[in-house]
A and B are shown apart, each in its own frame.
Chain A
Amino acid sequence: MSESSCTVYELKCPECKKGFGNVPLSACPDCLAPLEVQYDLDSVRGRFTKESVAAGPANIWRYKELLPIPEGHQPDLPVGFTPLVKADRLGKRIGATNLYVKNDAVCFPTLSFKDRVVAVALANAQHFGFDVVGCSSTGNLANSVAAQSTRLGLRACILVPSDLEPAKILNTQVYGAKLVRIEGNYDHVNRLCTLIADEYKWGFVNVNLRPYYAEGSKTVGYEIAEQLGWRLPDNIVCPMAGGSLIRKIKKAFAELVALGIVEDKPVKFFGAQATGCSPISHSVKNGWDDIEPQRPNTIARSLAIGNPADGPAASKMIQSTGGYAEDVSDVEIVSGIQELAETEGIFTETAGGVTTAVTAKLYADGRIGKDELTVSVITGNGLKTTDPLVGKFAEERAVKPRLAEFDAFLRESDASLITGVAEEEVELVGGTK
């Protein structure tokens, strides 16, 4: 394994301030604090500009100057640069006039924001010389590691909780990855992966490659700022599992401000969790600077991390911005999925149902003002978690392929669809009466 020759960024210990260069390491060997990538922003200044970004490809690599990518690495997967959608119809329903949805339900290649973090982590895995990569995952990360490792010619071994949604399991296996189901929840899986990374010397994207992996999340923040015309929103509403994404979006904003790319302004960060697994929202609501682990019990399995690694830091960060964290029940999550689909044509997974329902609640409770510029971050696609919607829609009888039959069916099931045509004309065309 070799060290990167790049000097623009390196791993640093936030506690004892020691620097470690670029190595596959997650914790400081001396004080055990989790390491983080720190940039020498002065060396980036002048190379990262609105113009240089605009000239880049329409994917996350347009921000490569602020990503920990080894020198010489030529990324070829067009990950990210997902739509930022003005959500007027959803806004009308929940009392918002300036609401946007960041739609990572369509992120390439596996339809979740995890494609971003994996792209950065695997660039480093390759650079450090790992033959086998892996991860502990609640599903989306598994899908992404499986797909992207194949593309890079790396073998993958992926560990997931045994009760994961079938579509997420299939979406991992189809790429040829070795998938191991572990009896237990994500926290059990994660602990095992820490031991495996220690023993097997594999490149675990969210263990020994974690500092690099986490930086990939920043691209959500860069894109939001750029897609808003290089300005920051008033509020961000973000789902929280391990608590990393919400912090990295803030880091992205801070870097853009430091480089003079966007004007500084206070941005409030709001976290979204399922009530059945809400250690971070519980912490924020109580004003704590730590979290109390929980045993997850929710349909939002991708957010079901009872002992979130970045939980304490996320809780402190949210409180420091004047934001808040809220949680919603499983029933509200399903309603949130349907509401986003029915209003904006975006089919999100359960985590997006959490975020949408929490966003509605924050407006209803007056925590977000009606006219404030707010971005609700949707992180995954609904096709992977259809289970909670089974039985939600009536299975109607099949109709014979005749216009008269169709007309009769429509009149009995949803006559409101017959618009713009006079009743008599419908009867004439249908010829049923």
Chain B
Amino acid sequence: MSIKVVLPTALARHTDGQKAFTSDAKNLPGLIAEFGEKFPALAENVKDENGKLRKFINVYVNDEDIRFLGGDGLEFADGDEIMLIPSIAGGLL
């Protein structure tokens, strides 16, 4: 099984410029764990102090927000495209 992971420029600076790569992660927690092995700088960038994906990042699976699909519990299917995009909300100052 293989999925395609897509990253914006802001995150690709931690993957040697790669904005897309394949993965065999089965779910989101698995994908984040894989980041730690393949791209330690990216893992550092996207995870918070509890090891969870930062709240400022939205995750889409085939154009749909992963939160509508079961979040961490969603099992990826072969050929899925997973996209990580930083949220563009205002800050908290």
Chain A residues within CB distance 8 Å of chain B: 12-15, 26-27, 29-36, 38, 184, 187-188, 190-191, 194-195, 198, 206-207, 210-211, 214, 242-244, 247-248, 290, 292-293, 295, 307, 309-313
Contacts and interface: CB of A to CB of B under 8 A. Distances in A.
Interface string B1-37: 0000000111001000000000000000000000000
B34 to A, nearest CB: 19
A168 B59 CA distance: 30
A172 to B, nearest CB: 21
Contacts of B54: 31-33
B70 interface: no
A38 B56 contact: no
Interface in B54-93: 54-58, 60, 63, 65, 67-68, 85-93
A207 B88 contact: yes
B56 A33 contact: yes
Contact of B90 (A30, A31, A184, A313): A313
B65 A307 contact: yes
Contact of A195 (B67, B85, B87): B85
Nearest to B57: A32
A309 B86 contact: no
Contact of B88 (A188, A247, A309): A309
A24 B91 CA distance: 15
Contacts of B86: 26-27, 32, 34, 194
A256 to B, nearest CB: 16
A243 B87 CA distance: 14
Given A27-B87, A27-B88, A313-B90, A32 B46 contact: yes
B90 A210 contact: yes
22 contacts: A14-B92, A27-B86, A34-B89, A34-B91, A36-B91, A36-B93, A187-B65, A188-B63, A190-B88, A191-B60, A194-B85, A210-B88, A210-B90, A211-B91, A244-B90, A247-B90, A295-B68, A309-B87, A312-B55, A312-B89, A313-B90, A313-B92
Nearest to A31: B54
B69 to A, nearest CB: 11
**Residue from the set A32, A34, A191, A210 with the largest chain B CB neighbour count within 10 Å:** A32
Contacts of A188: 63
A192 B63 CA distance: 10
Contact of A29 (B10, B58, B60, B68): B10
B58 A191 contact: yes
Most chain A beta-carbon neighbours within 10 Å: one of B9, B68, B92: B92
Most chain A CB atoms below 10 A, which of B9, B13, B65, B93: B93
Contacts of A187: 65
B61 to A, nearest CB: 12
Contacts of A313: 89-92
Nearest to A306: B65
A156 to B, nearest CB: 19
Given A33-B56, A188-B63, A244-B89, 13 more contacts: A32-B56, A32-B57, A33-B54, A36-B93, A38-B93, A210-B88, A243-B89, A290-B55, A293-B65, A293-B67, A310-B89, A311-B89, A312-B55
A207 B91 CA distance: 13
A190 B58 CA distance: 12
Contacts of A206: 88
A26 B88 contact: yes
Nearest to B56: A32
A32 B89 contact: no
A290 B45 CA distance: 22
